[in-house]
Structures are given as C-alpha cells and as structure tokens.
Amino acid sequence: MPAQRVLPFNSGLCVLVGAAALTLLNLSVDVSCAAQETKVSIKLKNIELCNGKDRSSPEPQIRGCTALINSQNETTVLRSAAYNNRGDAYVAKGDFDAAINDYDQAISLNPNFARPFNNRGVAYQKKGDYERALQDFDRAIKLDPDYGRAFANRADTHQLRRDYQSAARDYDSAIRIQPEVAGGWNGRCWTRAIIGQLQPALADCNKALALKPNDAAILDSRALIYLKMGQLESAINDYSSALRIEPALATALYGRGIARIKKGDATGGNADLAAAAKLEKKIAENFSHYGIQ
C-alpha cells in the first residue's frame, strides 16, 4: 500500500532569520542557527525514514515515524501522516493490531484523510475481518472517489468473500482510474477466470503481463484460465514459470498438479498436490470454488 508522504517544511527559515538579525546578534546568531539547523537535519532524516526511505526492515520506518509523533509542536497533518506510515510498517511486520491502533490515531487527527481508512481496511482484511475491511474501503472511496487502490482492495475483499460479481465491478473501477497498474488487470483476470469469462480473463492477464512481465501471480492467473480451457500444456508452462519465480506458490503447485494428472502424469501431479497441501491446507477446497475438481 502506498504510504502517505509526510509533508515537507521550510528548512531555509534559519538562514533567512539569521541573515536579517546578523548585525544585532553577531556570533550568537551563528550558535542559535547551528542548533536550529541540527534540529532541521534530524527532522529531515526522520521524515525520510517515516516515508520509507530505508526498506531494509520495518524498524527504521517505525523509528522515524515515532520520533515525529513524539516531537513537540508538530502539525496535525504531519502527525496524522506519521501515524499512517507507522501503521504501514506494523502491517509489514504482521502486527495488525498495532497497525489498526495507529490508523485510528491518524483518522482521529484528520478524519478527512482517506489513506488510513484504506490502510486500516487492509489490516482488517489480513485479520479476516472482512466486514470491517469493507466499511473502511467504503469510507476511503467516499472521501476520495478516484482512489484506485481502495477500489482494488475492496475488490480483493469481495473476492475473499467469494462475491465475485462485486469484485469484478470494483476491479473495473480500479482499472478505469489507474489503467497503468498491473494489479487491477490481474485481479479482474483472476475473478473472470473463476466465474467462467475465460476469453475476457485471458485478455486481462495478457494486459497485466505486458505491464509487468514475469510476475508469478499473473502467470498463475493465466495458467488457471488455460487449465479451465483444457489447454493443459500451456497451463503447465505458466504454472512452471510462476514456480521458478516463486517456488512456494501453493496455487501454482496445485494447479500444475491437476494439469499433470489430466495429461496422464499421475506421479508428478500427485507430488505437486501434496506439496501444495503442505503450504495451504484448504487449497483443494479453494480450487473447488474456482470450478476445478
């Protein structure tokens, strides 16, 4: 999820004030200005960290955002953005409760800020609380009707609830707003594949791959289409390509297993099915909802 950028500030203020007062304060201005410039430098570094400059782990972002949150005399807008960004870092850590608490704070400080509603929705979705997730995505979209990511996230949630028609409509909106983002095309491809709109689904997947070649998730989606079309060799090729990129992708293992069995390779197919089941216990049940037995 995109993080809200923390707003910059006028770091040149000290220089202007120092120059104007130099004849009155002499060297004391230099000392005061140096102290202020140090504070400015520290604040700039924390803003960069809070904006996610260091992606080595979530900790630098948490540290930078916390410094801004705890700093005195910060604006409401900046503190709200810092809470939002720290929430994103907690999501990256898998600490969804801490993330939700931070998004609550961001919303409390700035109730018209759409991003923490969207991001809190993602945290609720990852916790399996789909109803609260949908409520937050609804609110984000109401605040920002052109928020493509919120439409895509709401579509993902509808898909998890197996409400594929609603998911397809939200992917339509996400693609209309951000046609350059491969995720929207892939999401609609997957949804259309599940509901049996195979040719439109294939067109969506090909568009997604044109935008983001060699993406495991998109190759996995297109493989499902080929599997449902009975084009088993094409399905196996796409599943195998996806697994070379992401070897622990359970859906690709299971789909390839089904395709191999249908082609007469029971040994290889059953090995893929067993490997997939170790990664995802409900994989067979999920595929039955996709129309694959």
Per residue in 115-137, pLDDT tens? 999 999 999 999 999 999 999 99
The answer, yes or no, to whether residue 23 has pLDDT greater than 60, is no
Q: Are 293 and 196 in contact, with CB atoms under 8 Å apart?
A: no
pLDDT score, position 144: 98
Residue predicted with more confidence, 2 or 183: 183
Q: Identify whether 103 is part of a domain.
A: yes
Residue 54 inside a domain? The answer is: yes
Rounded to an integer, what distance in angstroms lies between the CA atom of residue 121 and that of residue 119? 5
Specify the CATH number for the domain of residue 107: 1.25.40
Residue listed under structure tokens 């299971």: 254
65 in a structural domain = yes
Report which of 240, 224, 141 is spatially closest to residue 186, judged by C-alpha positions. 224
In this structure, of 23-37, 102-116, 242-256, the range with the lowest mean pLDDT score is: 23-37
Contacts of 263 (CB under 8 A, 6+ apart): 232, 233, 236
Of 142, 98, 141, 136, whose CA–CA distance to 120 is shortest? 136
Q: Give me 251's structure tokens.
A: 């859906």
Banded pLDDT at 7 (limits 50, 70, 90): very low
Does any domain span residue 59? yes
**C-alpha distance across the termini of the chain, in Å:** 34
Q: If we measure between CA atoms, which residue out of 148, 203, 214 comes closest to residue 181?
A: 148
pLDDT in tens, 124-178: 999 999 999 999 999 999 999 999 999 999 999 999 999 999 999 999 999 999 9
Check pLDDT > 70 for residue 82.
yes
- Domain, as residue range, for 57: 44-116
Q: Is 194 a member of any domain? A: no
| Position 145 in a domain | no
Residue 122 within any structural domain of the chain? no
Q: pLDDT > 70: what percent of the chain? A: 87
Total domains in the chain come to 1
Residue 37, in any domain of the structure: no
Tell me the CA distances in angstroms from 260 to 111, 198, 235, 237, one per residue in order.
53, 21, 9, 11
Mean pLDDT throughout 73-94? 94
pLDDT score at 37: 62
**Better pLDDT: 32 or 241:** 241
Q: What is the pLDDT of residues 199-249, one digit of tens each?
A: 999 999 999 999 999 999 999 999 999 999 999 999 999 999 999 999 999
Residue 160, Cα to own-chain centre: how many angstroms?
A: 16
